[in-house]
Structure 1
């Protein structure tokens, strides 16, 4: 019994020294550092569509309100907005079209022609939070209300930024017919 206890103690001591040796600690440090770097938002993946068709590789200013104030949005912000659009909006708005009401698409002209205009970040966010018909006269039942428990303020701003930039730059965005 005593021999067994001594051997167990020796084994644990050897294991302790092995785990906390310099090479082991360096390996653990690099493993943890790598995991943190990969999950860091600074290394977020930028969508090729955002780079190529929306022409965003560096932060771009997008209009935030009716007074003309702007806010910079990165390629990563727009990539996140694209993913949110793909997950939540594309069924009715593929390519910026408007399947429930085809005469009005997500082009800049149509967004600006809404009441109130939806051609800036704040007004699009307000629409997401409380969807209204194009003329602003009543609630819209085509779009779902995006509550803060569903998407954070940052997320709805990223979604709005993607839509605005796509309306500015994406070829064919909001086309009302396939031939356009």
Structure 2
């Protein structure tokens, strides 16, 4: 009995030491597997902030944007499609065609802060407004970065055949 208890304690100690001695990469842990595998973002990428400006977004920022998307947007925008209005998806083509254009960070952030109809003629209540009290400017920019990256790189994003 004593040998069995000693053996269990010794085995537990070895397992704990092994876990403690494993090399850790905290930056890698913060990168969402979908972002790395399907969006192929493992290094910082440049995205258009406006027509004249780009900004670098890290894989961690894109992953944080994906997390915000999963928590707040995915109910209506499964795979980049729009359940309530299938003809207006989050595909890059549709984002470019909106008025004003939503194919850059500033355009998407402006839309999320004050949702407008696709033609920009009036406010819409189909998409919920994202106030600063809900997502900070950095968080909403990361969300926009995820959407734009997915629109450019994810197979089937914003189509009916995802």
Provide the TM-score with structure 1 as the length reference.
0.73
Residue in 1 that maps onto 2:135: 151
Aligned match for 1:61, one of 24, 28, 46? 46
Structure 1: 5+ residue stretches without partners: 1-33
1:73·1:161 contact (CA, 8 Å) conserved in 2? Answer: yes
Q: 1:78 to 1:134 in 2, by over 3 A?
A: same
Residue in 2 that maps onto 1:112: 96
Offset at residue 42 of structure 1 (A): 5.3
Moved beyond 2 Å, runs of 4+: 41-44
Q: How many residues align?
A: 139
- Deviation string 1:96-145 (CA, Å, 9 cap, x unpaired) is 00111111110111000000000000010000000001000111101111
Please give the residue correspondences for 1:28-47 in structure 2 after superposition, counting only pairs within 5 Å.
Answer: 45-47=30-32
Please give the residue correspondences for 1:1-180 in structure 2 after superposition, counting only pairs within 5 Å.
Answer: 45-67=30-52, 69-175=53-159, 177-178=160-161
- Find the structure with the greater CA-based Rg: 1
- RMSD between aligned alpha carbons? 1.7
* Secondary structure of residue in 2 paired with 1:91: coil
Stretch of structure 1 that moved more, 98-107 or 157-166: 98-107
Structure 2: 5+ residue stretches without partners: 1-19
- Larger helix percent: 1
